[in-house]
Structure 1
Amino acid sequence: MEMNREKQESSSVEEGRKGRLTLPLALVTLISAFGSSFQYGYNVSVINSPAPYMQDFYNQTYIDRHGVPMDASFQTLLWSLTVSMYPLGGFFGSLMVGPLVNNCGRKGTLLINNLFSIVAAVLMGTSEIAKTYEVIIISRVIMGIYAGLASNVVPMFLGEMSPRNLRGAIGIVPQLFITLGILVAQILGLTSILGHVEGWPLLLGLTGIPSALQLLTLPFFPESPRYLLIQKGNEDQARKALQRLRGWDDVDDEIEEMRQEDKSEKEEGHLSVFTLCTFRGLRWQLISIVVMMMGQQLSGINAVFYYADRIFLSAGVETNNVQYVTVSTGAINVLMTFLAVFIVESLGRRILLLAGFGLCCGSCAVLTLALNLQNTVSWMSYLSIVCTIIYIIGHAIGASPIPFVMITEMFLQSSRPAAFMVGGSVHWLCNFTVGLVFLYMEVRCEQGMAHGFSSKLVISGSPLCTDPSRSYP
């Protein structure tokens, strides 16, 4: 009985140690998420507030070159490209994931990726001095490549470094930093800070700071142990990396688990994207990832953020205060994603995913009704605000963070890079589609609704404008 008790105590101690979040693991999680995922969110939202001033810069530059103002349709096209080139670059970045992570490692890819961000930050920050709007569009492509790599490599890197019982919580941390990036961009984009005619180049250029910090600090942390053992065949380095991350020397169980995975995968070999798409054994996993990624982006989370200012304006919020109300929705997004970090392990991925998409679906249905009735029923405008907040909550707890966690857990080492390439490509292509067609869909809706929501809140130039009192060519 004494021996059994000792075994049980030893087992319970081991289980407790497996679930411990050590300082090295916490630091590498924060550095990876802040230096990479934060950038993704920051650049989604950073051109929202300064959009009117950037459009003025586009027009003035065109006048200086040609002596005549820019045609309104041409400016709409340019701004559509400015918005949509970011997700298009993200698509190209997703295609680079497999070759880079297999040849340079997960940590090595993140370090190389920082160069894209720093170059893009310098170009965007000096675009006004150089009097060229083309540089901004090109920089958005470069920044998109960075975000496409970061959005796929960071979840893969952290998922492979985390103990099994913390994999879900740590896997949501990148999404938490994406929402933090959105919120920080909204705060810095306030007209009282950098969202004005002199401040927007600095606002765009600040994106290089997190990358510079990651470039300086990440080399001091270990590479993914799974990559070191399974793909590089270096058990000594993998063992040292695990010992540092776990905080104790006895990592034989995890090493043995990796050996077994390596043995089974050597029989199959590493799967390319084409092989993954034609492999029957992973067909349902692949379909699930594609559907989740399409639902995540085509549900219109970016469009909802674009319309948030006008929904609040229609509810009677003063023009001077609407930016602060929009920032509050960004704060709600951060808080709910932070909550998801703590509940994902207890509730499970499936429940959060279904609950998140369910809230998004229900709130969109009610929002559509409220927007059509708010001109005749006064309190419907307030219902629109509530629906927008519920939609953001639904996306924050399920639709945004869970799909990337699922890729890490549903695929093994041999197929994981290819799975992230497929999932990331679908993610960014859908994002690109929404960003490109959004302006034109809005114009069509405004033309077709004589008394509806859009006609009441027409803002020329772009759906991203936040100051409806101004008129732009």
Structure 2
Amino acid sequence: MEEKERGLAPAAPVQKARLQPTLVLATLSAAFGSAFQYGYNIAVVNTPHKVLKSFYNETYVERHGTPMGARLTLLLWSCTVSMFPLGGLLGSLVVGLMVDKCGRKGTLLVNSVFAIIPAVLMGVSKVAKAFELIIFSRVLLGVCAGISYSALPMYLGELAPKHLRGMLGTMTEVFVIVGVFLAQIFSLQAILGNPTGMELQINYYADTIYTAAGVAATHSQDVSVGAGVVNVVMTVVSAGIVELLGRRLLLLIGYGICGSACLVLTLALLFQGELSYLGVICVFAYIAGHSIGPSPIPSVVRTEIFLQSSRPAVLTVDGAVHWLTNFLVGLVFPSVQEAIGPYCFIIFAGICLLTAVYIYMVIPETKGQTFVEINRVFAKRNGLEFLPEKKEEITEAGPHMRATPARETPF
């Protein structure tokens, strides 16, 4: 009726384009060059920590003639681990400026500098007998991850046609998980989880930019690898069904599973002990739930619910919150766990419940909608008049609008 009053004829329905090889290649190259590194370096120093600590101690003995004390060893190791999220925070604070000045693609290309330099530094650290190079490299790798965390979802979300945006948007997390999983495999003692293998990994990392050493194990390496398999499989499943079931439902299912797993895990730890089968099942259930919704879907939603003009600033704030909370959880959780024991998981269950309620009450389904249409929904909910910028109307006009109807990407 509104269209008739304006004298506008409805546009012909837009035919959905298939996933073209050019778009696949663009996605793979962008994700391998950013999210894959992020995932690998999340876990780069955990399993082979004894090898690295031994290298630190040997270097210290050569310099000072005495072995490194336990307190100094712990301090240096804490710095090695914590420098990564610190670098991630720094990266998240500059990504908004970078995408405005260099564009999305340009930012991803410039970000390669923060992968190449630490690769070279790690590669020469053993020859130079300088563990400081490893610690400094962790800062630069964190910057690389911080920029990737925000720039890649932005690039893929804006590159993809609306009916493929969910699937391509989840590729950020898919490649993060694949990077973590490969680190798990390489860190097995029979492969590269030993001093010789560590040296090979560092040299290989210097050559390929993407490689290093290991990943954390919750109970044992076998359990850790099994958890990695679950993580990869469920994340890929989520990417495959996100356009079928939608973002909102997957988030609700995922947080529901995570919250339930935390509650049951609390009971398992209270009544069956740390290594009970039920406890291990809960850990796997939590990973599965997290991989279905909370892990891959937010990278899609946070791109979709903001217009292009606001996206850099929003993702800068989002990235800063992401890395700060990572740091705080790592800092506070051991003390909380020591203070209240298994009951600490009830806190996480409560957070999952509150998040699910918020999603149910506030977040609309964004599947198959343009960015302009999504923002119009939010404006209507808040009783506001929606006035997008002209460039937003031109590039994302829906089929009900006369102004240059949105065309599917030729990819």
TM-score bracket for the superposition, by shorter chain length: 0.7 to 0.9
- Offset of residue 365 of structure 1: 2.1
Change (3 A) 1:122 1:202: farther
User: Which residue of the partner structure matches residue 111 of structure 1?
Assistant: 109
Q: How does 1:209-358 map to 2 (within 5 A)?
A: 306=216, 308-309=218-219, 322-358=220-256
User: Which residue of the partner structure matches residue 44 of structure 2?
Assistant: 46
Alignment partner of 1:180 is 2:178: yes
- Offset of residue 62 of structure 1: 2.1
User: Which residue of the partner structure matches residue 127 of structure 1?
Assistant: 125
RMSD of aligned Cα (Å): 2.6
User: Which residue of the partner structure matches residue 362 of structure 2?
Assistant: none
Of 150, 166, 169, the residue aligned with 1:168 is: 166
SS at the partner of 2:50?
A: helix
Of 421, 428, 440, the residue aligned with 2:323 is: 428
Whole-angstrom CA distance in 1 between matches of 2:45 and 2:272: 29
User: Which residue of the partner structure matches residue 378 of structure 2?
Assistant: none
- Offset of residue 207 of structure 1: 4.3
- Offset of residue 127 of structure 1: 1.4
8 A Cα contact 1:353 1:398, kept in partner: yes
- Offset of residue 166 of structure 1: 0.8
Whole-angstrom CA distance in 1 between matches of 2:246 and 2:327: 30
Alignment partner of 1:441 is 2:351: no
Which amino acid in structure 1 is aligned with residue 42 of structure 2? V
Alignment partner of 1:37 is 2:35: yes
Alignment partner of 1:88 is 2:86: yes
User: Which residue of the partner structure matches residue 71 of structure 1?
Assistant: 69
Alignment partner of 1:360 is 2:247: no
Q: How does 1:196-207 map to 2 (within 5 A)?
A: 196-207=194-205
User: Which residue of the partner structure matches residue 350 of structure 2?
Assistant: none
- Offset of residue 416 of structure 1: 0.2
Q: Compare the two structures and name the one with the higher helix fraction.
A: 1
Whole-angstrom CA distance in 2 between matches of 1:120 and 1:345: 38
User: Which residue of the partner structure matches residue 15 of structure 1?
Assistant: 15
TM-score, normalised via structure 1 length: 0.65
The answer to which of 60-69 and 137-146 deviates more is 60-69
8 A Cα contact 1:97 1:417, kept in partner: yes
Whole-angstrom CA distance in 2 between matches of 1:426 and 1:375: 34
Whole-angstrom CA distance in 2 between matches of 1:448 and 1:413: 45
- Offset of residue 204 of structure 1: 4.0
User: Which residue of the partner structure matches residue 282 of structure 2?
Assistant: 387
Whole-angstrom CA distance in 1 between matches of 2:98 and 2:296: 23
8 A Cα contact 1:125 1:202, kept in partner: no
Whole-angstrom CA distance in 1 between matches of 2:250 and 2:229: 20
Which amino acid in structure 1 is aligned with residue 192 of structure 2? L
* Higher relative contact order structure (alpha carbons within 8 Å, sequence separation ≥ 6): 1
For residues 89-134 of structure 1, give each alpha carbon's deviation from its aligned partner in whole angstroms, at most 9, with x where no partner exists: 0010011111111111111111111111011111112212221221
The percentage of counterpart residues that share the same residue type is 50
SS at the partner of 1:195?
A: coil
8 A Cα contact 1:85 1:144, kept in partner: yes
8 A Cα contact 1:84 1:436, kept in partner: no
Count of residues in correspondence between the two structures: 330
Whole-angstrom CA distance in 2 between matches of 1:168 and 1:139: 33
For residues 162-211 of structure 1, give each alpha carbon's deviation from its aligned partner in whole angstroms, at most 9, with x where no partner exists: 00111111100111011000010111111111110122243245445665
Change (3 A) 1:30 1:177: same
Change (3 A) 1:394 1:329: same
Which amino acid in structure 2 is aligned with residue 361 of structure 1? G
Which amino acid in structure 1 is aligned with residue 238 of structure 2? A
Whole-angstrom CA distance in 1 between matches of 2:127 and 2:205: 18
Of 371, 375, 400, the residue aligned with 2:269 is: 371
Change (3 A) 1:127 1:434: farther
SS at the partner of 2:38?
A: helix
Whole-angstrom CA distance in 2 between matches of 1:332 and 1:391: 10
Alignment partner of 1:401 is 2:401: no
Whole-angstrom CA distance in 2 between matches of 1:194 and 1:110: 30
Which amino acid in structure 2 is aligned with residue 103 of structure 1? K
TM-score, normalised via structure 2 length: 0.75
Which amino acid in structure 1 is aligned with residue 104 of structure 2? R
8 A Cα contact 1:356 1:397, kept in partner: yes
Change (3 A) 1:178 1:210: farther
8 A Cα contact 1:121 1:206, kept in partner: no
Change (3 A) 1:203 1:368: farther
SS at the partner of 2:326?
A: helix
Which amino acid in structure 1 is aligned with residue 305 of structure 2? M
Whole-angstrom CA distance in 1 between matches of 2:324 and 2:197: 31
SS at the partner of 1:81?
A: helix
- Offset of residue 141 of structure 1: 0.3
8 A Cα contact 1:117 1:143, kept in partner: yes
- Offset of residue 371 of structure 1: 2.3
Structure 1: which 5+ residue stretches go unaligned? 1-9, 213-304, 310-321, 453-473
